[in-house]
Amino acid sequence: MTSPPAPNFREIATPFGTNRIAFRKRAGTSERPGLVWLGGFKSDMLATKASAIDAYAHDTKRAYLRFDYSGHGESGGKFEDGTIGGWAAEALAMIREETQGPQVLVGSSMGGWIALLVARALAEANEAERLAGLVLIAPAVDFTEALMWAQFPQDVRDEITQTGQWLRPTEYAPDPYPITRALIEDGRKQQLLGSLIRSHCPVHILQGMQDPDVPWRHAMLLIEHMPSDPVTITMVKDGDHRLSRDEDIRALLSAIDGIA
């Protein structure tokens, strides 16, 4: 297996700060929309699904941009300094500065939330035509509040409030993830559920029904908030949160190929 090419870097300034963002991209020669990977919480652009899309982009000659949020992977910054708003601002800046024309955003878990925040920001700037479609994998919309804070016991809430963070054990890495007060408080400002959500483009959701982190009912709640846009959902009956098995990857690439 060949090693991926070294990343490029770009200094990205947002209202949340300036960070050195690592990215890789393919120029592409196809007239079809480009692809942008938006990874999950503590994930990176060399993960299984992001790499599978790179191979697909190569084979189909489609443009493809993938990058690491600040504090993730090969990018600069510290993870514990990150917030949903900051990472969404980085994603928006990277899309504007490193892509041309319509794009399909592929968002995994937290990346699904960020994709919808980017869609909102583009629409507010009269740039909705930059999106050709969204493919969302177990979209963790509003997860800091709905799937974290609302389920944390009081002692964990107190630790976050009083000390500024709590180290959350995870099965996805040997070390726990720091859940900071800034992450929780900023997440409340970025919430989408509770009001109409617009993508201004077709959406295809892939959701595992055995997902312990983002329950399939959360995906259905998201759909209920999107009555104005065409939304398709594929439920994977035995699928987990990662949806990284060979059959899951095939379903993902089929969704990408079919949406635009």
Catalytic positions, written as ranges: 109, 211, 241
d(CA 97, CA 36): 12
d(CA 54, CA 235): 24
The CA-based dihedral angle spanning residues 249, 250, 253, 254, taken in that order and rounded to the nearest 10 degrees: -150
Closest to 235 in 3D by CA, of 203, 204, 202: 204
The answer for residues whose C-beta is within 8 angstroms of residue 228's C-beta and 6 or more apart is 196, 198
Calculate ∠ Cα 173-175-180, nearest 5°: 105
Q: What is the DSSP string of 2-50?
A: PPPPPPEEEEEEETTEEEEEEEEEE----SSPEEEEE--TT--TTSHHH
Backbone angles phi, psi at 104, to 5 degrees: -100, 120
Strands 131-137 and 203-208: parallel
In the structure, how many helices (H) and strands (E) does the chain have?
Answer: 8, 10
Given strand 8-14, what is the order of strands in its sheet?
A: 8-14, 17-26, 64-67, 34-38, 103-108, 131-137, 203-208, 231-236
d(CA 173, CA 135): 25
Residue type, position 40, single letter: G
